[in-house]
Chain A
Amino acid sequence: MGFLENLINGVSLGSVYAIIALGYTMVYGIARMLNFAHGDVIMVGGYVSFVIASSMGLNPLFGILVAVIVCTALGITIEKVAYKPLRQSASLTVLITAIGVSYLLQNTALLIWGANPKVYTSVVAGWPQLQLFDGQLIISAETVVTICACAVIMIAMVTFIHRTKIGKAMRAVSEDPGAARLMGINVDSTISITFAIGSGLAAIAGVLLCSSYPTLMPTTGAMPGIKAFTAAVFGGIGSIPGAVLGGILLGIIEIFAKAYIGTQFSDAIVFAVLIIVLLIKPSGLLGKYVPEKV
């Protein structure tokens, strides 16, 4: 039973990584940049929903909605102010800017909410647990909701990029921005939409993460952000199913490492797995290499 419990917890943690990794992978796929501030948008989502639900005492679902709206607006603003002017710059310049934005968000949160951790009340507090095998296996409502949210989001994203006009335009931009412009696609607004979607998802990830791990600090988003980035690379950066697979595998590996090897080693093991996968398959698990035909 312990094994099954660990597995379910791993999938749940992995689902949070997967939702964050979707934002990383979509932004990378379309803007060819690593948005290292993505993890901190999660933290902002956590704080906004905390303020609405815990400080103001309003409905937690309303808190999620406000968090999504605030983070979406934040993502668009970050892209416009910090990244768009650097569209023609070297990728290292953009990367350093992204790290700068990350620190800016962390320190702004520090100024507003202080350094003391907030105790986050789960958005599904009071919802019934799932009891299986005569109560031997207890699955929390947070776990169920997190896994379901990840599944719904992944299906929605895959449908979106394959079935809608904007989604197809995003794929076209990710493959060849120049050719996409020749088609009449506005590359700048497509990138903007991608940031909006990724940041909205980060807000949901923030709420889910804080519901399961209820300590909220200005640095809360940093480590999950790095791990979700790892997950995106692990699964094949640029690939949506890859981000989800990478995220879930990473969550499972982390929980199993914690349970069977040791808490201190878990992060080291997670990153060691990444290194091994990249040595064997540099494009990641589901990363595609399409040879060009001449």
Chain B
Amino acid sequence: MAMLSVEDLNVYYGSIHALKGISFDVNEGEIVTLIGANGAGKSTTLNTIAGLLRPRTGDIAYEGESLVHVPAHKVVEKAIALCPEGRRIFLNMTVRENLEMGAFSRGGDAADETMEKVFQRFPRLKERINQSGGTLSGGEQQMLAMGRALMSQPRLLMLDEPSMGLAPILVDEIFDIIKSLHETGTTILLVEQNARMALKVADRAYVLETGNVTMSGSADALAEDDRVRQAYLGG
């Protein structure tokens, strides 16, 4: 049985039909990526799983349990974390406070231990521990956003456009981190516009177009597919 199973999900923004019955699975231990153009519904999908949006119909099953009626602040307790698009770190709070917020639903001592682990992965954050989030560079903010998501010790980590707006060298660094998180057993659902990089790290991929899944398969196969190459990999 899949760890996460999305079934015929329909989501509306007012009268706009944003997700038109999409279905996909994520198995434990996989990196699955959703690729597609702007407005295809990638972020909407992640926000709906995280509980920030409510689907009109359809189901999201996580380890056999439906998430559809679970409020966002309870979803994180199920070891699902979303690192949102645009990072959305707390700019007026320090690096330490941002990380503490990531562990909000957990006890204090456990959080300290996890924070040490996050600092091992992102040493730059430790140097900036008492700086406010707004003073960090774009790359550091992305690391803080990922570190904050890791503070809840997720088994399923959802990353929404982690490479957006970053210099190429930082993009490589972020993808290295994604790979190493995967190696330590975290299941990852990745949304990316940088389809080339996403398909390189992922096991499987789904292509979204205007709220529908139009293609799916192993990441390697999709990277070779002519239509995918033309539309998302620049020919």
Chain A residues within CB distance 8 Å of chain B? 165, 168-169, 171-172, 175-176, 178-187, 288, 290, 292-294
A residues less than 8 Å from B51 (CB atoms): 181
B5 interfacial by beta-carbon distance below 8 Å: no
Contact B84 A172 (CB under 8 A): no
Contact A185 B90 (CB under 8 A): no
Contact B92 A171 (CB under 8 A): yes
B residues less than 8 Å from A184 (CB atoms): 73-74, 76-77, 104-105, 152
B59 interfacial by beta-carbon distance below 8 Å: no
Cα distance A168–B100 when bound, in Å? 9
Contact A179 B134 (CB under 8 A): no
Shortest Cβ gap from A201 to chain B (Å): 22
B residues less than 8 Å from A168 (CB atoms): 93, 97, 100-101
A residues less than 8 Å from B97 (CB atoms): 168, 171
Chain B residues within CB distance 8 Å of chain A? 50-52, 71-74, 76-77, 81-82, 84, 86, 88-93, 97, 100-102, 104-105, 134, 136-138, 141, 148, 152, 165
Return the contact of A182 from the options B84, B93, B138 (Cβ within 8 A). B84
Cα distance A187–B82 when bound, in Å? 17
Nearest to B108 among chain A residues (CB) is: A165
Cα distance A181–B136 when bound, in Å? 23
Known pairs A178-B52, A182-B50, A183-B101; A293 contacts B88 (CB<8 A): no
Shortest Cβ gap from B45 to chain A (Å): 15
Nearest to A181 among chain B residues (CB) is: B72
Cα distance A169–B73 when bound, in Å? 12
Return the contact of B52 from the options A181, A288, A292 (Cβ within 8 A). A181
B residues less than 8 Å from A183 (CB atoms): 73, 76, 101-102, 104-105, 148, 152
Known pairs A179-B90, A181-B51, A181-B73; A293 contacts B141 (CB<8 A): yes
Cα distance A183–B103 when bound, in Å? 7
Shortest Cβ gap from A193 to chain B (Å): 14
Contact A288 B76 (CB under 8 A): no
Contact A294 B104 (CB under 8 A): no
Cα distance A288–B93 when bound, in Å? 13
Contact B88 A169 (CB under 8 A): no
Shortest Cβ gap from A92 to chain B (Å): 19
- Most chain-A CB neighbours within 10 Å: which of B81, B90, B91? B90
Contact B148 A171 (CB under 8 A): no
Cα distance A56–B97 when bound, in Å? 48
B residues less than 8 Å from A180 (CB atoms): 101
Contact A294 B50 (CB under 8 A): no
Cα distance A293–B90 when bound, in Å? 12
B residues less than 8 Å from A186 (CB atoms): 71, 73
Closest 4 CB pairs of A and B: A184-B105, A181-B72, A179-B88, A184-B76
Contact A175 B102 (CB under 8 A): no
A residues less than 8 Å from B100 (CB atoms): 165, 168
B residues less than 8 Å from A172 (CB atoms): 90, 93, 101
B residues less than 8 Å from A290 (CB atoms): 91-92, 134
Extra inter-chain contacts (14) besides given A172-B93, A187-B73, CB under 8 Å? A168-B101, A169-B104, A171-B90, A176-B90, A179-B88, A181-B72, A182-B50, A182-B52, A182-B84, A183-B76, A183-B102, A184-B152, A293-B136, A294-B138
CB-defined A-B contacts under 8 Å, sample of 5: A171-B97, A172-B93, A176-B90, A179-B88, A288-B92
Cα distance A179–B138 when bound, in Å? 18
Shortest Cβ gap from B146 to chain A (Å): 13
Contact B138 A293 (CB under 8 A): yes
Contact B104 A178 (CB under 8 A): no
Nearest to A292 among chain B residues (CB) is: B91
Shortest Cβ gap from A102 to chain B (Å): 31
